[in-house]
Amino acid sequence: MNMTSGSELFDTLLHVHTETAWLNTCITISQQLGFPYFLFGYLPHKLTPLTDAKVLGNMPQTWLQTYLTEQCKETDPVLQHCARHQRPFFWAEEYFADIQAQATYACAAGYDLKYGLALPGRGQDAEVSIMLLLSPDPARHPATLGAQQIGQLCLFRDFAMDALRPLLLPPDAAPVKLTPREIECLIWAARGKSSWEIAQILTCAEATVNFHINNAKQKFGVTSRQQAVIRAIRGGWIAIN
């Protein structure tokens, strides 16, 4: 792993203007660092469903489709780790402990995805990401990587997230104006309350709560309550702990 060339390549991420350019640059950096396979999964907010994740990379397509459809659930060891920790998940056979995890690894190894790291990321406004860097080469076994090498890969992850974020922003639109009642309803929705529970808290009818939340959804141009909550958080309308 060449520390100098990798560091120089990071700067190129600051000058990409399209998703395609971003992806090609990330793949180049990943390969320079000894990992021919690259994947980046991005959620704009931790409340965003996994099914809505932005996934970019050059992983074998057949494996990726299998992994996303069968493994994106609570039992997946990689997702479990990255949801709970900031430290990397070591990707090698011995780190996939139970039977289901071993099956996950065996499937990946069949596509030469044998050694590497999954790097969890946290960004502004509770956004989350996972960068996956994999290789068939035993020299890329995570146990052989030193602290400086892992630190460089974490820096790569941070540059990648910062470069991707502005490329995913929606086009400029007229400012959204929410009423106080719409804001109240979204705050309680963000805390996991149902329409019935919000109605009890605000002393109003459940239909009234749905009316205000539907108005907020329409203003944000989204189709689900969760999406409206995320847009309200990112727009600074509401804040949750």
Please indicate whether residue 128 or residue 56 has the higher confidence score (pLDDT).
56
Residue 75: per-residue pLDDT:
65
Query: What is the predicted pLDDT for the residue at 7?
Result: 54
The domains of the chain are located at 3-168, 180-234
Identify whether the C-beta of residue 84 lies closer than 8 Å to the C-beta of residue 56.
no
User: Running DSSP on this structure, what letter comes out for residue 88?
Assistant: P
CATH 3.40.50.2300 holds for 3-168: no
What's the confidence (pLDDT) of residue 220?
Answer: 86
| CA-closest candidate to residue 218, choices 178, 181, 185 | 178
Burial-class residue 96 by CB neighbours within 10 Å (0-12, 13-18, 19+): buried
53-77 tens-digit pLDDT? 889 999 999 999 888 776 555 567 8
Count CB neighbours of 152 within 10 A: 19
Query: Which neighbouring-strand residues pair with 42?
Result: 54, 129
For residues 43 and 88, the model is more confident at: 88
- Averaged pLDDT, 33-58: 88
- The pTM for the full model equals 0.73
The lowest-confidence range among 3-7, 16-20, 161-165, 186-190 is 3-7
Mean per-residue pLDDT, 92-117: 92
Task: State yes or no: pLDDT of 172 exceeds 60.
Answer: no
Q: Is 56 helix (H, G, I), strand (E, B) or coil?
A: strand
Which has the higher per-residue pLDDT, 60 or 78?
60
Q: What is the DSSP letter of 121?
A: E
Lowest mean pLDDT among 42-56, 114-128, 175-189: 42-56
Q: By mean pLDDT, which of 3-12, 16-25, 35-44, 190-199 is the weakest?
A: 3-12
Q: Which CATH architecture has domain 180-234?
A: Orthogonal Bundle (1.10)
